[in-house]
Amino acid sequence: DTGVSQDPRHKITKRGQNVTFRCDPISEHNRLYWYRQTLGQGPEFLTYFQNEAQLEKSRLLSDRFSAERPKGSFSTLEIQRTEQGDSAMYLCASSLGGGENTIYFGEGSWLTVV
């Protein structure tokens, strides 16, 4: 399967711990997006990359959150000092360019902070 893959699919962590999620986009897709979705809500934009450059960050992305895409391929999203409010599904998506190109989503990484 050559779709967008995310790892881990589920993560339970204690408050205050750091967690890292990985996203492998579809090969050759230069755009990579991170979204967050809480129960009953639509996804919310966090950040996006074009190749290795992080072009936009949402105000939702506090200084505890950092995202990287060091070689323009896979990306990581790290959350430091997790809080219960960080519990959500973190979705990764990729596309070949922006505009009217189709966006492909991963299965998401569920985070539960206890």
Partner 1 sequence: KNEVEQSPQNLTAQEGEFITINCSYSVGISALHWLQQHPGGGIVSLFMLSSGKKKHGRLIATINIQEKHSSLHITASHPRDSAVYICAVRYGNEKLTFGTGTRLTIIP
Q: Which long-range contacts (CB under 8 A, 24 or more apart) does 39-48 make?
A: 43/91, 46/77, 46/90
> Which is nearer to partner 1, 80 or 96 (by Cβ)?
96
Q: Pick from 53, 55, 60, 114 the residue near partner 1 by CB under 8 A.
A: 55
- The answer to the question of residue 65 lying near partner 1 (CB under 8 A) is no
Q: Which stretch binds partner 1 (CB under 8 A): 11-19, 51-59, 63-71, 73-81?
A: 51-59
Q: Pick from 12, 17, 18, 44 the residue near partner 1 by CB under 8 A.
A: 44
- The answer to the question of residue 11 lying near partner 1 (CB under 8 A) is no
Q: What angle do CA 41, 57, 105 make, to 5 degrees?
A: 50
Question: Per the structure block, which two tokens stand in for 65?
Answer: 């959150």
Does a cis peptide bond (omega within 30 degrees of 0) precede residue 70?
Answer: no
| Beta carbon of residue 16, minimum distance to partner 1 (angstroms, whole number) | 25
